[in-house]
Structure 1
Amino acid sequence: MVRRVALITGGARRVGAALSRSFAERGYDIVMHHGNSAAAAEALAAELTAAFAVHVEIVQEDLADSSAPARVVQAALNRFDRLDVVVSSASVMETRDFAAVTPDDWARAEAINLRAPFFLMQAAARAMTTGGVIVQIADHLAGETGHPRLIPHQVTKSALHQLVRAVAEHLAPHIRVNAVAPGLVLAPDDMSAAATARFLHDVPLARSGSPDDVVLAVHYLVDALYVTGTVLQVDGGRHLRR
């Protein structure tokens, strides 16, 4: 039996790892990209291979390199000779005061959060046949009033929402393109309990989510054959209070 192949960028840690695990559980062979998480990638690949008898190709690339997205897609084709689903989960979110943002900070956010997803979609579109699916992991913050310490992240993720809509129209009807915009599903390592409580004050469901909430949304978009160009909010309703 020929298995379907899913490529997950940032697929070795946090939400990306949950996505890699979920596709393996569904019988996909996995192309697991990481930037600098080799140990986590090797451990997760061994786990998925043992648990689900799938094949896992690990690809290390810094997506700030403009040619990296094409190399990631080519690695998938070299190993499996097909590509069915791409989930672009890799991103950078660096907290900086307005006055402390440097040109390098801005360039890295733009390169990883916006340029890399575009060229990953471009390369994937060449590789996919009719029925291919691309899902971008965006951010619920993208539609909010400006966050003063996340300006490069927020601006690039806002642009990613528009990019999804534009590319979805261009690639229809053969390839569907959507996005999931998570809220607080996995707190940053440096987020204090007080900051978490302040954030949840504006969430109508009054709790944080989990990576599984993102996984469910991604698989809905993979399976929903009449959905393209959609940014699906998975934020506990926080977007209602903008």
Structure 2
Amino acid sequence: MSFLRSFIHALWMLVTVIPWAIIMIVASPFRSGVAMYGMAQTWLGWAIHGLRVICGVRWRVQGMENLPQGETSPAILLVKHQSTMETFLMPLLMPHPLAYVFKKELLSVPFFGWAMGKLDMIHIDRSLRTQAFNKVVEQGKRLLAQGIWVIMFPEGTRIPRGQAGQYKSGGTRLAVATGAPVIPVAVASGRCWPRKSFVKYPGVVEVSIGKPIPSEGRSADELMREVEAWIEGEMRRLDPEAYAHEKNNPVASSAQV
């Protein structure tokens, strides 16, 4: 049954993304950045609410009160990455428009990537590390000044449930360079939408938003260690079943948190 529901949801996303992307591409010369972002949110809403209705995947959010207030209050979201779900869900939850930092290869994905290219986001060439980071800082400063929040996945790629990837300091380096606080976000999506899995399983995805961590006067590495400790600790609270193996291996547990 889960496979059939997942197939229907995949079909739903496919048949909606094609006309949506075409409309966005055609409208882009005539619409503002805010309007284009709103159009993107519309399709993401179709995908996520379709996931709820078709596959029985729901979500529960804690910590919304921790988000900065004010129309231009800056923030850099650093989010745990277990599946595609958090990529789609975050723009629907956040009170500010989001700008993702992502590899430029995604722009080549038919329809979805073409539409993404019409949004004001930060796409980088990972092979050009110094130039890529300079681009992130330059565009990040401009976006943050407009009240657009920057969102990054510090592990760089989707990580299997119950595991931790290597946290990279690009997000905290941007925070130090811009003076913006970082907001750690833990998302236990792997239980319902596992990494690289076609099949989605019914259940509740827990999302926890941490308190802003100031970046002023901090080193990027120190700041990232604090972000990693909070996210990984929170993941064990949200999804203890996924980390049950650590009870028999306390050395591995202490090495990750």
- TM-score (norm: length of structure 1): 0.37
Higher CA-based Rg: 2
What TM-score comes out, normalization by structure 2 length?
0.35
Higher relative contact order (CA 8 A, sep 6+): 2
